[in-house]
Chain A
Amino acid sequence: MAAQTLYDKLWQDHLVHEDEDGTALIYIDRHLVHEVTSPQAYEGLKLAKRKIWRISSIVATADHNTPTKDWDKGIMDPVSRLQVETLDANIKESGSLTYFPFRHERQGIVHVIGPENGATLPGMTVVCGDSHTSTHGAFGCLAFGIGTSEVEHVMATQCLTQKKTKAMQVVVEGKVGAGVGAKDIALAIIGKIGTAGGTGYSLEFAGSAIRALSMEGRMTLCNMAIEAGARAGMVAVDDTTIEYVKGRPLAPTGTTWDRAVAYWRTLTSDDGAKFDSVVTLDAAAIQPQVTWGTSPQMVTTIDGVVPDPAKEPDPVKREGIERALKYMGLKPNTPIVEIKPDKVFIGSCTNSRIEDLRAAAAIARGRKVAPNIKLALVVPGSGLVKRQAEQEGLDKIFIEAGFEWREPGCSMCLGMNDDQLSTGERCASTSNRNFEGRQGAGGRTHLVSPEMAAAAAVTGHFVDARTL
């Protein structure tokens, strides 16, 4: 048989049916559900009198609308509350394998709780009505975000209609410098290929720098694959993957574990497998990244400057830069280190796991949030991450430095709850999108790593965290 890519293998393993034109039905192993993109799907099922095909595929939580403080008061916003209660009611009525509702000790961001509970296992197809489902590709899964119609489709049929994408290998070779992490790698890749560079592709991240990443790092990287426009991002299974999965509540045990591991070990691209496209980056050359605009591809390094649109020959791009700078309130050629945020957000499905919090806490330790920072938020990805961090004393480090230590949820990544930017406010954020209005109408987002966000918080401006 011809050498296969990891994507080929995952596709083949889930292929139920294929038409002559390549339209295929693929089987879905895990369906993650949250409150925002599911109510209309449940309603659609009911209206069509359809049943959920396999209830045990569903793992659900409430994360987008949930507040991150004053949990005893419940959800104050009645519109948000109704959406969360609708999920409660839908799960109660139709069932799930596991549900972590608002205030449950394991509640959290859907892309954090899946892996930490072993609901995400290597070789699975994982879908969720959320674009950052690409996160789960870190486990050698085929994982991608879907819309509400497809949520309903998976509920009703356990399958999705898909066409195979092309495969792109993104090779990062060498060793990243100290203080440079997965977020910087992700932003550097997007800076290189652009936010549409991955459109029509599934990405496999490979190379020694990727192998060296922890599972948390690989999740950060795959999480951002969608920001490169890709259907999915993935990393081959290795010892790091298997070590992470072992002992998780929903992971197999005993002889089934051994059988599973034997299969999981095959989830790598074969030597000589052909990719439709290959992109390579030199890990050693990657510097801490900071976005300056309103698209994740509008990114530069911490020692860089805000670009000058006058130097851009393409008129559409030039206008894009001009519009972004106007929105962001930035002047061309301003050094990044002179930009001062008003708020700092450490959290989101990109960077809210224990390793992220440790990295940020290492910078915050013994320092104080600068006076010009109105709010510095740390929002753990889940109840489990929060407790782990508290056991390690990270909460105390943050609180002593002047950060707010909050309850888990999506929070200021998209501001569906009260955690938002006001018009004109600038934020150093560990989230994934710097779109206009993403963190609040008129808010200005700069995407950075947890280290860089913490460094901006304690100095009051962007700074190379490695110099602190």
Chain B
Amino acid sequence: MEKFISREGLVAPLDRANVDTDAIIPKQFLKSILRTGYGPNLFDEWRYLDQGEPGRDNSKRPLNKDFILNQPRYQGAQILLARENFGCGSSREHAPWALLQYGFQAVIAPSFADIFYNNSFKNGLLLIKLDAKTVDRLFKESEASPGYRLAIDLDQQTISTPGGEHFSFEIDAFRKHCLKNGLDEIGLTLAHADKIKAFEAGRRETRPWLFN
């Protein structure tokens, strides 16, 4: 996983609540056995006017001009602004893969669904929870000012607006540590291998029916 360093980026506001992972990356693209190649099909059903299929040349497909990511002012956006319960639904990790591969490095919303939240951090996609009022303000500001950018400081856990306002956000210390250092969580867990083995040996005694 790549290290997340503090950065600033163009904001794209996606103004709808309960954006589910089926919308983020539709099921037909889940047939792939690869980790890459999902960016062009991010939000496929909203982004294109026709139906996407794996293996199609997306550059030739008709775009839905009304969709936020197709508007010229949001080209190159790196920060997605969203409403509550972003990422609900399926556990598909293809959702954070698609967001990252499109070019997003962070998503800001009042709340995120649990599995999506876990999946995102394991891939270096920073999810930032801010209260609904603040998010609403950011929506208004970003829609009102083309080229609206936000600066994210992971160390300080703050977001800064072009107007010089700062908002702090919470992040779990362990997740922050992994994100900053691009750590492989499996490696960290395997540092406890002896403890896991001892636990497992005890469990074979107390719950033998679990070990066929």
Closest residue of A by beta carbon distance from B15: A319
Interchain CA distance A159-B91 in the complex, whole Å: 18
Query: Which residues of the partner chain A approach B193 to less than 8 Å between Cβ atoms?
Result: 157
The answer on a CB contact under 8 Å between A56 and B212 is yes
Q: A83-B33, A121-B210 are in contact. Are A27 and B200 (CB under 8 A)?
A: yes
Instruction: Tell me if A's interface is mostly helix, strand, loop or mixed.
Output: loop
Interface string of B28-58 (1 = CB under 8 A from A): 1011111100000000010000010011000
Q: Which of B70-78, B98-106, B115-123, B159-167 is found at the contact surface with chain A?
A: B115-123
Interchain CA distance A158-B172 in the complex, whole Å: 23
The answer on a CB contact under 8 Å between A252 and B209 is yes
The answer on a CB contact under 8 Å between A435 and B89 is yes
Does A382 lie at the interface of the complex (its beta carbon under 8 Å from any beta carbon of B)? no
The answer on a CB contact under 8 Å between A157 and B18 is no
The answer on a CB contact under 8 Å between B209 and A437 is no
Interchain CA distance A248-B188 in the complex, whole Å: 37
The answer on a CB contact under 8 Å between A250 and B189 is no
The answer on a CB contact under 8 Å between B27 and A195 is no
Shortest beta-carbon distance from B111 to chain A in Å: 6
Query: Which residues of the partner chain B approach A65 to less than 8 Å between Cβ atoms?
Result: 31
The answer on a CB contact under 8 Å between B196 and A159 is yes
Q: A129-B91, A231-B114 are in contact. Are A40 and B192 (CB under 8 A)?
A: no
- Interface size band for B: 35 or more
The answer on a CB contact under 8 Å between B209 and A25 is no
Interchain CA distance A420-B119 in the complex, whole Å: 28
Shortest beta-carbon distance from A377 to chain B in Å: 17
Interchain CA distance A111-B207 in the complex, whole Å: 23
Query: Which residues of the partner chain A approach B172 to less than 8 Å between Cβ atoms?
Result: 21, 23, 163
Interface string of A47-82 (1 = CB under 8 A from B): 010100110100000001100000000000101101
The answer on a CB contact under 8 Å between A437 and B122 is no
The answer on a CB contact under 8 Å between A161 and B210 is no
Closest residue of B by beta carbon distance from A249: B212
Q: Which of A142-150, A212-220, A340-348, A452-460 is found at the contact surface with chain B?
A: A142-150
The answer on a CB contact under 8 Å between B17 and A259 is no
Q: Could you list which residues of chain B lie within 8 angstroms of chain A, going by C-beta atoms?
A: 15-18, 20, 22-23, 26-28, 30-35, 45, 51, 54-55, 83-85, 88-93, 96, 111, 113-115, 118-119, 122-123, 172-174, 184-186, 188-190, 192-193, 195-196, 199-200, 203, 207-212
Q: Could you list which residues of chain A lie within 8 angstroms of chain B, going by C-beta atoms?
A: 16-17, 19, 21, 23, 25, 27, 29, 36-37, 39-40, 43, 48, 50, 53-54, 56, 64-65, 77, 79-80, 82-83, 86, 97, 121, 123-124, 129-131, 133, 144-150, 152-153, 156-159, 161, 163, 195-196, 199-200, 226, 229-231, 250-252, 256-257, 259-260, 263, 295, 316-317, 319-320, 323, 414-416, 423, 433, 435-438, 441-442
Kindly list 8 other residue pairs between chains A and B, CB separation below 8 angstroms, not including A37-B93, A146-B91, A147-B122: A25-B189, A27-B200, A77-B31, A123-B207, A129-B93, A149-B122, A195-B18, A433-B90
